[in-house]
Amino acid sequence: MSFEACASLVERADPLRFRAAMAAPVSARRILFPLYAFNVEVARAPWVTQEAMIAEMRLQWWRDALEEIAEGGTVRKHEVVDALADVLDTDGARCLDGLIAARRWDIYTDAFEDQSHFDSYIDATSGHLMWTAARLLGNAVETTVRDFAWGVGVANLFQAVPALEAQGRKPLMDGTGHGIKALAGQAMDRMAQARAARHDVSKAAGAALVAGYHARPVLQAVRRNPQIVAQDAFDVNPARDSLRFLNVSLRGWWR
């Protein structure tokens, strides 16, 4: 029942990725749902308590679980870990450990140290997950997947800025209109590079990139009007969003 539990968790906590996974072939869902359920558990770990030590322990628990999977020995009993162990290899476990390490930043209220720290955070939290999924699903060039994932990660961050700032976090290196617009442009450029190299990603691996179907419209809107980030004024038209998802899921993640 661990696979069903993963799918149920993603449906409740991450409806966007649930939608993307359900559009994938059944065989791909067996990989995507455990990975996305793992991501739900790790992403929310820093937020379920105000005690930094407890949050650190929660993240360490998942790092230990990945270490057990990487070593190929006995793995602790947990419905998400059980499903993850069935699909994850050693390289995948090591990669996702980097995702958890990056999530430690979410526990504290410190700003990013510099641009490199910000870039690596986006790459780890968005890129490690998407790359691991794509690699397990089929053939893909890592730099192409990570370029696309970086743009998706920035789009997701823009949408989360008001909530993060309300929790005392400092999610942007430069929160001015100019800085936000420049970041959106950088993210769009990297996604454009990925789309130009779309033949580097097989159809099977591309199922992992469908979860980023929403990112380009978000980045375009931010580039036009950076103020929507602080105002939390993203205009998501359900009908238009559904049409875009249908187009991407049927015609390709680069649309």
CB burial of residue 69 (10 Å; 0-12, 13-18, 19+): buried
Residue 228 clears pLDDT 80, i.e. is over it: yes
Share of the chain above pLDDT 90, in %: 96
Q: Which residues of 167-204 are buried (b: 16+ CB within 10 A; e: fewer)?
A: eebebbbeeeeeebbebbeebbebbeebbebeebbeeb
- What's this model's pTM, rounded to 2 decimal places? 0.96
For residue range 143-194, list pLDDT tens digits in order. 999 999 999 999 999 999 999 999 999 999 999 999 999 999 999 999 999 9
Residue 1 clears pLDDT 90, i.e. is over it: no
For residue range 18-48, list pLDDT tens digits in order. 999 999 999 999 999 999 999 999 999 999 9
Q: What is the mean pLDDT of residues 236-252?
A: 93
Share of the chain above pLDDT 70, in %: 100
What is the pLDDT confidence band of residue 235, given thresholds at 50, 70 and 90? confident
What span, in angstroms and rounded, lies between the C-alpha atoms of 233 and 254?
25
For residue range 53-93, list pLDDT tens digits in order. 999 999 999 999 999 999 998 999 999 999 999 999 999 99
Q: What is the mean pLDDT of residues 232-245?
A: 91
Residue with tokens 């001015």: 176
Nearest to 18 by CA among 5, 3, 33: 33
In the chain, alpha helices (H): 2-13, 15-22, 26-44, 52-71, 79-87, 90-103, 115-122, 128-137, 142-166, 177-196, 203-206, 215-224, 227-231, 238-251
For residue range 199-219, list pLDDT tens digits in order. 999 999 999 999 999 999 999
| Domain ranges (residues) in the chain | 1-108, 112-255
What span, in angstroms and rounded, lies between the C-alpha atoms of 29 and 191?
24
Q: What is the mean pLDDT of residues 13-17?
A: 97
What is the pLDDT confidence band of residue 236, given thresholds at 50, 70 and 90? confident
Residue 253 clears pLDDT 80, i.e. is over it: yes
Q: What is the mean pLDDT of residues 108-121?
A: 96
